Chains A and B, each alone.
Chain A
Amino acid sequence: MVYVALITGFLLILMGLYGALTNRNILRMTVAFSIASTGTHLVLVAVGYIPGRTAPILDGAVTAADASLRIIDPVPQALVLTAIVIGLGVTALMLTYAYKLYETKRTLDISKYTDLKW
């Protein structure tokens, strides 16, 4: 299952990047990136997974004493949490940019925004 998640994650990253590289529409690029970052999250979580163990929450089933034998690695999860939030921030920013760009030239085609070059 770990491998399934990993491979899916990598595939999502590649698909997302492919979309970002080939779609000229700014919003579609943003969508593609959000898919790629979902893929990244999947990879991160999958790496921290240990087959057969449970979530790193102590309750009746998992006590503090045997936690280190029962739970999976909490660190990747913490990282992913941060990454998700940051990803949202960047996506929101890209969207705002898209809107603002559209306002200046009335197009979402990224190849039209080449006033700066060389």
Chain B
Amino acid sequence: MSTVKQPHAEQFTSREQQSFAGTFGMWVFIASELLFFGPLLFGYLYLRVHYPEASAAASRHTDYLLGTSNTAVLLTSSFLMALAGHAAESGQRPRAMRLLWAVAALGFVFLVLKGWEYHKDFQENLFPGPGFRPEHGGRLQQLPGMQLFFILYFVATCLHAVHLTIGILVCLAMAWRLRRPPPVGVSADAIEYAGLYWHFVDVVWIFLYPLLYLVGRAGG
């Protein structure tokens, strides 16, 4: 906690209470978000059980290199986010600010890589629907399963990208508002909440990565 005695919102009786309520609220939100991805994960389980070969074939159509580098980018951004939280907590606002810019930049890199990957997917006719025509491989009877895989792929990654975009905007806003000290600017608590959210977005990707990119890589 910073050494300055900070004011608190009128519904609370102390700064500590407010700070804890914020962190707890963020965790409840994260628990809720986790369930939000539940149907996708269960749908994925359904797919893998019912169409094991098709989902492996479909997974081979995703871009291994881009997926892996994006995972590294996101893990690193999470690390920088954790550093930013520490910096803000110990009152090093300029350092926290720089780190937040870096986090946002890495998030942006992720989105660019992801967008490039989407572009390639579209070119390879991997977007589900009437135009779904994966090149090389993909026998006729595997098409329904492959298509299901790509529905889940697109829905899950799009939702993840939406979450990430929100995270980037929050980071930018925080970095901007860090220019000024707490009563006007942003408090270390707020950075902590933003960090929790960012890490959660990272956690989602950590699970999506092996499920979407690594199935049947070795050939089927």
* Physical interaction between A and B: no
Q: Interface on A for B, CB 8 Å cutoff?
A: none
